[in-house]
Amino acid sequence: MALTPTASAAPLPPPVADWTGFYLGGNFGYGIGRARATVDGDVQSFSRLSPDGMIGGGQAGYRFQRNWFVIGAEADFQWSGQNDSICRFSPGTGCQPAIFSRSRSSSIDWFGTVRGVAGVAQDNWLWYVTGGYAYGRVVDEAGGFGLGNGLNGFESSRVTLQGWTVGAGVETRLAASNWSVKLEYLYLNLGDHTFQPVCAGFIAGGGAGGFGCPFPPAFTAPQVTTSITDHVFRLGLNYNIGGSRPAATSAPRPTAAPANWAGFYAGGNIGYGAGHDRLDTQWLAPGGDPTRTRFSDSQSPGGVIGGGQAGYRFQHGWLVVGAEADFQWSKQKDSSCFDCVGTVFNYDDKRDWFGTVRGVAGVAQGSWLWYVTGGYAYGRVAIIQSVSVGAVEPVRATLHSTESGWAAGLGVETRLAASNWSVKLEYLYMDLGNVSFDANCTAVSAAPFGIATGRCEALTSSLTDHIFRVGFNYRFGS
């Protein structure tokens, strides 16, 4: 049967779900972190890792409701698969081909929060903001620090950090039951910690003395300070312990008819984008052949995004399908630098704008619509790599390009009272593929590095994004 616009829906009911009482449930989602490291004594030697991966865990809490106002507290605990690593060229002396690599890795093993919650309830949905205490277990490693006498410094630091978290979400009651489903975003700041690599016993030429070097090193490795932040997107399920009756009455709770979502709509949105890009660099010899010097750098361009969307939906009972296009201005950016004996390597990564054209399919009940979405994505990216020696910049690679790929995600949208206005919370994953470009070197720079004049580097970068945004729509028609 063909899907056609439904008749005008009746005015939406007032709050009917009772959110008062204890609840508990589970969740799963994705985390995109930032682990920025600074090396003591050299403010230019910093880099950012982006530990990302699946997360999952449970939550429990208590809420109190008075009319449309809901407050409460919640605690959760999450297992995390977030990790990232980089490997960089690091010379033994000067900037000749490497005898070992400088490397870093960072992972978040688990984390938890204890938060206050405040929200607004209407019909069978609850929009809320949340914030409070956060803690987590972090593993941070750094190696490749030359200690002289052919020795190498390395350290693996495992520490439980404490900090704070803020976020927002929406939760909807499933039919006339005590079960509810929620979509939530959290930002975590776990502060920073400092550790110092120790002698790992590496000897140039293949020897290894293990931890505790066979003879004293000539130098002490600098201290490394890492700051940890995390963006968490998760989908959860709660069981609300107690009655599922309306908040102000003991009568059986009615099942609301779906609101009318059919027709054209347009609106705006604002949110945050957290990218995860991997830049791989291969140095080239004078003949154009790859050298043995290859390194990678993880970039996490993050920042505020904002734009607009428009689309059309058909509805048949509880089933809603349609199509939507959006366009976003983006302030996402990231940078890192690495100092090699006075030679500074700089990397800048930006998103200027992006857009998507997607199909949408969802389930409507009462005044809310849960949906999945996916389709075509495109965006303008900028990547700049440069090498500076004092005031001279002999190596530079620049990419300004419009790339295309795909996007997929999910969201929830709720009607505001008995009007054509609605508000939504949405998560999108966007993959713009891989880009390749070259760097050019001047004759002045080629000889010290043992690489070619002219085309001297081949660079490849992946382009992925995690987008979380809140938006509003106006549906045209009755």
9 domain residue, yes or no: no
Mean pLDDT over 296-312 rounds to 90
What is the phi/psi pair of residue 53, to 5°?
Answer: 160, 175
* Greater pLDDT, 157 or 425: 425
Separation of alpha carbons 308 and 474, rounded Å? 12
Name the domain boundary from 231, 255, 279: 255
Model's pTM, two decimal places? 0.82
**Number of compact structural domains in the chain:** 2
Among 48, 35, 164, which Cα is nearest to 108's?
Answer: 35
2 domain residue, yes or no: no
pLDDT value at position 48? Answer: 73
- Whether 88 has a pLDDT exceeding 80, the answer reads no
Q: Are residues 329 and 341 in the same domain?
A: yes
Q: What Å distances lie between residue 323 and 50, 80, 264, 327, 424, CA to CA? A: 33, 34, 10, 14, 16
pLDDT value at position 203? Answer: 46
135 domain residue, yes or no: yes
Name the domain boundary from 203, 220, 255: 255
354 domain residue, yes or no: yes
- Whether 222 has a pLDDT exceeding 90, the answer reads no
Q: Are residues 295 and 240 in the same domain?
A: no
**pLDDT, tens digit, 9 for 90 and up, residues 105-150:** 889 999 999 999 999 998 888 999 999 999 999 998 877 676 766 6
List the beta bridge partners of residue 299. Answer: 277
- Whether 155 has a pLDDT exceeding 60, the answer reads yes
Separation of alpha carbons 441 and 449, rounded Å? 10
Separation of alpha carbons 269 and 139, rounded Å? 36
Q: Are residues 284 and 424 in the same domain?
A: yes
440 domain residue, yes or no: yes
Task: Give me the CATH number covering residue 284.
Answer: 2.40.160.20
Question: What band does 393 get if pLDDT is binned at 50, 70 and 90?
Answer: low
Q: Are residues 354 and 404 in the same domain?
A: yes
Name the domain boundary from 230, 255, 280: 255
Q: Are residues 224 and 339 in the same domain?
A: no
pLDDT value at position 72? Answer: 96
Q: Which residues touch 67 (CB under 8 Å, ≥6 apart)? A: 15, 247, 248
405 domain residue, yes or no: yes
Q: What Å distances lie between residue 81 and 30, 299, 304, CA to CA? A: 9, 19, 25
Mean pLDDT over 55-84 rounds to 95
Q: Are residues 72 and 167 in the same domain?
A: yes
pLDDT value at position 90? Answer: 44
* Greater pLDDT, 7 or 400: 400
Q: What Å distances lie between residue 69 and 23, 64, 106, 243, 249, CA to CA? A: 17, 8, 41, 18, 17
1 domain residue, yes or no: no
Sign of torsion, CA 39 43 44 47? positive
Specify the pairing of strand 224-240 against strand 179-195.
Answer: antiparallel
Q: Are residues 92 and 210 in the same domain?
A: yes
What is the phi/psi pair of residue 112, to 5°?
Answer: -155, 165
**pLDDT, tens digit, 9 for 90 and up, residues 318-375:** 999 999 999 999 999 988 776 655 567 778 889 999 999 999 999 998 889 999 999 9
Question: What band does 11 get if pLDDT is binned at 50, 70 and 90?
Answer: very low
Q: Are residues 274 and 319 in the same domain?
A: yes
6 domain residue, yes or no: no
Separation of alpha carbons 69 and 128, rounded Å? 10
pLDDT value at position 360? Answer: 97
pLDDT value at position 156? Answer: 78
Which structural domain, as residue segments, surrounds residue 183? 18-255
**pLDDT, tens digit, 9 for 90 and up, residues 232-265:** 999 999 999 975 544 444 444 455 567 899 999 9
What mean pLDDT, rounded, does the chain reach?
82
Most confident of 4-18, 73-87, 311-325, 406-420: 311-325
Among 348, 354, 434, which Cα is nearest to 383's?
Answer: 348
Q: Are residues 306 and 250 in the same domain?
A: no
Separation of alpha carbons 67 and 80, rounded Å? 37
The beta strands (E) that lie in 12-150 are given as 21-39, 42-49, 52-66, 69-90, 100-122, 125-148
Q: Are residues 354 and 448 in the same domain?
A: yes
CA atoms within 13 A on the CB side of 38: 10
Separation of alpha carbons 362 and 109, rounded Å? 34
Q: Are residues 168 and 297 in the same domain?
A: no
Question: What band does 170 get if pLDDT is binned at 50, 70 and 90?
Answer: very high
- Whether 96 has a pLDDT exceeding 60, the answer reads no
Q: Are residues 181 and 209 in the same domain?
A: yes
